[in-house]
Amino acid sequence: MAARDQHGIGAPWGDAAAGDPANRAFQVVGKPHRKIDGLAKATGRAQYADDLVLPGMLHAKTLRSPHAHAMIVAIDASKAKALPGVHAVITGADLPIKYGVIPWTQDEHALALDKVRFIGDEVAAVAAIDEDTANAALKLIRVEYEPLHAFLDPRESLARPEPKIHEESKTGNVSKHVDLAFGDVDAALASAEVVVEGDYVFHGTTHAAIEPHCAVAQFSAEGRLTVWSSTQITHYVHRALAKVLELPIQKIRVVQPALGGAFGGKSDPFSLEFCVAKLAMFTGRPVKMLYTREEVFYCHRGRHPMKLRYRTAASKDGKIDAVDAKILIDGGSYSSFGLVTTYYSGQLLTGPYHFPTYRFDSTRVFTNKPPCGPKRGHGSVQPRFAFEVQLDELAEKLALDPIELRRRNFQGDFTRTVNGQRITSNGFLACLDEVERASGWRARRAKLGRGRGLGVAGSMYISGTNYPVYPNKMPQAGIQLAVERSGRVTVFTGSNDIGQGSNSMVAYVVAEELGMDVADIRVVAADTDLVPVDLGAYSSRVTFMVGNATIDAARKLRTQIAGAVAKEWQIDAARVRMGNGKVFDLDSTERCITTAEAFQIAEARCDTLGATGSYNTPTLGGDYRGGTIGASPAYSFTAHVVEASVDVETGRITCHKVWIAHDCGRALNPMLVAGQMEGSAYMGIAEALLEDHGVNRFGLHAGPSLLDYRIPTSVDTPELRR
């Protein structure tokens, strides 16, 4: 249940029915406020992980495997250790405990223990007085390998169980298999009026955040470890460090400084976080490791390549009867979030269209390539691409307008999907209407001439899921508010601002709830010594879950303050309102004090002021194994129209314009929402037309640089209209 349904003296903007004039307008929410850290970033003052310099800090570098698949026979680091300026060299034997973000599939070592699984796999790490010395030391480490057969094609991994890439996997080189059916798909296919089927391929892509991964560690004389890391999930790094280093978790502090982009690519615990920690413990000095751009490409955790086969059965008027999917997922060399990816590849397709029956069979296999993981729209983008293309094929077969076909299959609002997911409000039709209108679809579509056209696609995505990565009953998001008698409120949040603006979002919410100026709110975030736990920036969960936790805390505080002021004024608490930096009596508004004065009254009457709040999801999802994966407390919906042309001689495709409509619920800050819409549309076009995260026939990355990996510049990006 959302916090606003549980607490307090009602919303500051009134609780009357929608449209009732008794409701006050929002004061902060819905307005294009600046970000609270905007000017810090604009002036170069914001500190990112690599901007940290600690006294006596050493620099660390990683030795990586030149083989796609090999046993490590021997490592000799004696020469490297003897190099002047080298303080420590560590190998797999120093960090032998496995980790992995999903508790059931922990198959990673910070440094390879006995075998390497892709070109770029981490083998050893060196800490030295500077980067040049550390690099020189890497060259002195002798590693003897015994190469094994390298799997580069997922079909081979499926067909050939030996040699196993992971000895502990039960079924050859299969990482995860999910097979779920809802309703009688075969009967629907057999009796359908039309069936379309097709094979689709989605190549791999990567995040390519402009900031490379970086971590700094310090181990104090008291035995406390601090790690500053460019992570988007402080909490899981915290847990993983405790496990691998065998340190009590309360002795570890993880801090996320300003983060230079993530998009899912900084969700896993990474080798460098363990290495800097261990090296700091070994040397007694702070240690920093900054990945080169090339190394970032090896770390990857990007979009899984998928081979997808879809069959869709429909009636003559275009109503879908059944969807049947078979998907082969190339996971790369480690599990990462792959268990979730495998479920998401099927579970997230069941909207915004109504599927009476549905079946998917998804298999993720290991290959000797950089490991895949979660990237923006985790696990859902590849099936969505395939299925939307199939819908177009269906429209063509039935001579139906593609937008009309999508409209006819709209699932409706306040409903349940075939796989048991609860859909609440659903603005998909409005999104379709808007892009149809804005693009001039009806008037222009047939008149664009040969080689140029308009295309449409729809989608939905989660706002977090109700299943935390490690099972526990505690809240998914926690918030603390500290009130200062000067009229300032400080928010303590575990959420990770990765550029999306979550720190600003919590400030807007507190400002709205307490009727304050955003400038009087400070946010302390993502520092495990200071803030309550939040599960981090993934699965598009932060605004929904952390926002609700913030409302929860702010309402408790408001109740306390309004209660104290009401007693002071000897009126009913319901008459006390907070807004515009003032606290006033609703019935006689000339009785009015500043927020700071109200805080002082409350502090005098109650105690030092503060509040906590939390959010946890209700029970959601289907009653079957995996039924909660992809079950979200809220879904967002979108429709896009793209105008593209193809050069019929060269085959070169140019995307000219994109019209975007998105139902994200209430836009807390429409300017930041627009930035997310444009940024994701840009990334999607780049994935479709330019980017390819491939390897050559030896398993070597095809081009691990920002020049070879073709991300669009300002002149390549089409016009984006929201």
Partner 1 sequence: MRVLHLLINGDRVTVAAPEHWTLLEVLRYELGLTGSKQGCDKGDCGACTVLVDGKPVLACLTLAALCEERAVTTIEGLLPAHVKSGGSGPDPVQAAFDECGALQCGFCQPGMMLSARALLDRNACPTRTEIQDALAGNLCRCTGYTQIVEAVELAVAKHCGVAPRRPGSARPRGRSRPPPRRA
* Residues at the site binding ligand FES, with contacts judged by CB under 6 A: 210, 261, 499
The distance of closest approach from Cβ of residue 678 to ligand FES in the complex, given in angstroms and rounded to an integer, is 11
Q: Is 461 helix (H, G, I), strand (E, B) or coil?
A: strand
Q: Closest approach of Cβ 256 to partner 1, in Å?
A: 12
Q: How far is the CB of 720 from partner 1 (least distance, A)?
A: 5
CB of 705 to ligand FES, least distance (A): 10
Nearer of residues 262 and 429 to partner 1, judged by Cβ: 262
Binding mask 107-146 for partner 1 (x = CB under 8 A): -------------------------x--------------
- Tell me how far, at minimum, the Cβ of 120 lies from ligand FES, in Å: 20
Chain positions 464 to 483 lying near partner 1, rule: CB under 8 A, are none
* Structural contact between residues 107 and 98, judged by C-beta atoms closer than 8 angstroms: yes
Q: Closer to partner 1 at the Cβ: 198 or 679?
A: 679
- How far does the chain reach from its first CA to its final CA, in angstroms? 31
Among 6, 16, 45, 249, interactor with partner 1 by CB under 8 A: 45
Using the minimum distance from each CB to partner 1, give the nearer residue, 121 or 691.
691
* Cβ-proximal residues to 377 (8 Å cutoff; 6+ apart), any chain: 384, 461, 680
Instruction: Residue 715: name its binding partner from partner 1, ligand FES, none (Cβ under 5 to 8 Å by kind).
Output: partner 1
- Rule CB under 8 A: which of 492-511 touch partner 1? 498-501
- Check binding of 721 to partner 1 (CB under 8 A): yes
> Among 673, 658, 656, 677, which residue's Cα sits nearest to residue 721?
658
> Per rule CB under 8 A, is residue 392 in the interface with partner 1?
no
* Tokens at 29, concatenated: 């929410």
- Please classify residue 172 by burial: count the beta carbons closer than 10 Å to its beta carbon, then call 0-12 exposed, 13-18 middle and 19+ buried: middle
Q: Pick the stretch among 202-210, 350-358, 532-540, 562-570 that binds partner 1 (CB under 8 A).
A: 202-210
The distance of closest approach from Cβ of residue 332 to partner 1 in the complex, given in angstroms and rounded to an integer, is 21
Q: Binding partner of residue 404 among partner 1, ligand FES, none, CB under 5 to 8 Å per kind? A: none
Count CA within 13 A, CB hemisphere, residue 197.
9
b/e code 192-201 from CB counts within 10 Å (16+ = b): beebbeeebe
Give residues 627-666 in contact with partner 1 (rule: CB under 8 A): 654, 656
The minimum distance between CB 33 and partner 1, in angstroms, equals 9
Min dist. Cβ of residue 499 to ligand FES (A): 5
Q: Is 272 in the site for partner 1 (CB under 8 A)?
A: no
* Using rule CB under 8 A, residue 522 touches partner 1: no
For residue 707, the partner it binds in ligand FES, partner 1, none, with Cβ less than 5 to 8 A by kind, is: partner 1
CA separation for the pair 28, 442 (Å, rounded): 38
Distance CA 325, CA 319 (A): 18
**What is the spatial distance between Cα 59 and Cα 45, in angstroms, rounded to a whole number?**
23
Binding segment (CB under 8 A) for partner 1, from list 4-12, 162-170, 300-308, 679-687: 679-687
Nearer to partner 1, 208 or 215 (CB): 208
CA-to-CA separations, 301 to 336, 380, 559, 579, in angstroms, rounded: 7, 15, 45, 45
Residue 364 binds: one of partner 1, ligand FES, none (C-beta under 5 to 8 A by kind): none
Q: Distance from CA of residue 84 to its chain's centroid?
A: 43
Q: List phi, psi (to 5°) of 382.
A: -65, -50
Out of 17, 18, 22, 43, the only residue in the binding site for partner 1 (CB under 8 A) is: 43
Q: Name the DSSP letter for residue 695.
A: B
Q: Which is nearer to partner 1, 399 or 715 (CB)?
A: 715
Dmax of the chain from CA atoms?
A: 84
159 belongs to the binding site for partner 1 (CB under 8 A): no
Nearer to ligand FES, 281 or 683 (CB): 683
Per DSSP bridges, beta strands 174-182 and 610-615 are unpaired
48 contact, one of ligand FES, partner 1, none, CB 5-8 Å limit per kind: partner 1
594-616 per-residue burial string, b: 16 or more CB within 10 A, e: under 16: ebbbbbbbbbeeeeebbbbbbbb
Distances in whole angstroms, Cα of residue 207 to Cα of each of 86, 294, 712? 33, 13, 13
The DSSP bridge partners found for residue 423 are 415
Asked if 606 is part of the footprint of partner 1 (rule: CB under 8 A), the reply reads no
The entry of partner 1, ligand FES, none near residue 719 (CB within 5 to 8 angstroms by kind) is partner 1
Q: Is 284 in the site for partner 1 (CB under 8 A)?
A: no
Among 4, 7, 31, 34, binds partner 1 (CB under 8 A): 34
Looking at the Cβ atoms of 59 and 556, the one nearer to partner 1 is 59
Neighbouring residues of 56: CB distance < 8 A, sequence distance ≥ 6:
285, 286
Q: Which is nearer to partner 1, 453 or 675 (CB)?
A: 675
User: Please, which residue, 198 or 712, has the CB nearer to partner 1?
Assistant: 712
Site string for partner 1, 288-327 (x = CB under 8 A): --x-xx----------------------------------
CA-based torsion, 97, 101, 105, 111: positive or negative: negative
**3-state SS class at 658:** strand
Q: What dihedral angle (degrees, nearest 10) is formed by the CA atoms of 233, 238, 241, 243? A: -110
Length of the chain: 722
Nearer to partner 1, 487 or 703 (CB): 703
623, burial (CB in 10 Å: exposed 0-12, middle 13-18, buried 19+): exposed
d(CA 658, CA 685): 9
The residue (of 18 and 707) whose beta carbon lies closer to partner 1 is: 707
Contacts with partner 1 by CB under 8 A: the residue count is 64
- Counting contacts by CB under 8 A, is residue 597 touching partner 1? no
Cβ 219 vs Cβ 280: under 8 Å: yes
Query: Which one of ligand FES, partner 1, none interacts with residue 711, CB within 5 to 8 A by kind?
Result: partner 1
Report DSSP state, residue 385.
H
Residue type at 307 in one-letter notation: K
Q: Can you tell me which of 9, 678, 688, 694 binds partner 1, judged by CB under 8 A?
A: 678
DSSP conformation class of 268: S
| Crossing angle of the two packed helices 542-569 and 595-605, in degrees rounded to 10 | 70
List contacts with partner 1 (CB under 8 A): 32, 34-35, 37-39, 41-48, 50-51, 53, 132, 207-212, 258-263, 290, 292-293, 498-501, 654, 656, 669, 671-672, 674-675, 678-683, 705-707, 710-717, 719-721
